[in-house]
Amino acid sequence: MSVAADRLEGAPALDIDAVRAQFPALHQQVNGKDLVYLDTAASAQRAQCVIDAVSHYDSHDHANVHRGVHALSQRATDAFEGARRSVAQFINAGSESEIVFTRGTTEAINLVAQSYGRSTLKAGDEVLITWMEHHSNIVPWQMVCEQTGATLKVARIDERGQIDMEHFRSLLNERTRVVGVVHISNALGTINPVAQIARLAHEVGAVVVVDGAQATPHMAVDVQALDCDFYALSGHKMYGPTGIGALYGKRALLDAMPPWQGGGDMILAVDFERTLYNEVPYKFEAGTPNISGAIGLAAACDFVRQLGHEAIARHEADLLEYAMTRLAAPDLTVIGTAQHKSGLVSFTLDGIHPHDIGTIVDGEGVAIRTGHHCAMPVMTFFNLPATARASFGVYTRREDIDRLADALDQVREVLG
């Protein structure tokens, strides 16, 4: 198994102590124990540079954007639009106008479903997704299919937690209008072949919507190389603020799409007979945006870029390899063993409910995730109610995995 970039011997190594020093939340005790944070896939801790960027805006530059001629409004607008440029550069969008700020990946996918999907889909059309999708890449398509009469199709996964590409190909046809796929599964860690999926989808004339929430913290994302039509990301997955994310969309598609929400800033002129809409991306950004969040997201992009994707890949590949060995035990089953996998281990312990695992390891100061991870079909496929999940970030150490292993021994002692 590997992370997105194959582990290269020449890849630079992270200075883990220097990295950890940039995350103030890590330096605390929980239940009398030094915190071990292994829930990065749910929300990564915020880097100090992100906290500082948001604090500076809040303290010095807070004003509304695109609306004022006074100095603070101009500074806020410059910072907000600078953040758009940073996100565009981070994922190699062709233009900053292809970046729409949203509340996160969920809102971004809903935007595509309700604007592109609702305006183009009709009875007889098909939307194709996969069994490993997060609920945010399932429910919006169910909703728009109900609204338009289109049909939702689902490609199978296999026992290793990989897309059954033969089945996926068999479901693609001239009726397929949209393909939705997660780049990295939050429940399994599987890295999907998005470029291949996009090529196959485009051969039948479908557009491709990628849930990239789990990918952007761990691997270099080049939306032009992937040739996806839409790509959604979230700030809080990549060491940034909550409540902010972005949607990348190809300019021609965004131009043709109707607005999703109405209000201020998405208009050029309004009277009671009609409204003239603003140009993209602004026609999709109704109302006062999350200005501080966008500034924090830009700082997070800069932080990840400065660490370097190759260094991050090497670090997380080492952690995954170590975890698979260190946690191995006859009573522990890893759920998701794809050939290409990110720094995440979902697992079960024989006879012990994952929620009990999570409670006991929390008592040892170790934070992991338990539950269905907003991916209930994945749990259904593996015939499980839930899993325990340890997910890694740039600040994770081998010692953290050792602490988890010791905490699991405590679980066994209490409940085994």
From the list 321, 319, 324, the residue with the least C-alpha distance to 334 is: 324
Catalytic residue among 49, 228, 301, 374: 374
Give dist(CA 47, CA 217) in Å, integer. 13
- Quick check: is 374 catalytic? yes
Token readout for 53 is: 């960027």
How many Cα atoms are found within 13 Å in the side-chain-facing hemisphere of 164?
11
Q: Do the Cβ atoms of 263 and 285 come closer than 8 Å?
A: no
Strands 344-349 and 387-391: antiparallel
Q: How many beta carbons lie within 10 A of that of residue 277, not counting itself?
A: 16
Q: Do the Cβ atoms of 212 and 221 come closer than 8 Å?
A: yes
Q: Do the Cβ atoms of 404 and 361 come closer than 8 Å?
A: yes
| Residue 413 exposed, middle or buried by CB count within 10 Å (0-12, 13-18, 19+) | exposed
Give dist(CA 74, CA 226) in Å, integer. 35
- The residue to which tokens 């995954």 are assigned: 320
Q: Do the Cβ atoms of 320 and 304 come closer than 8 Å?
A: no
- The residue to which tokens 């050029």 are assigned: 268
- The residues, any chain, with a CB within 8 Å of residue 143's CB and separated by 6 or more, are 113
Catalytic residue numbers read 374
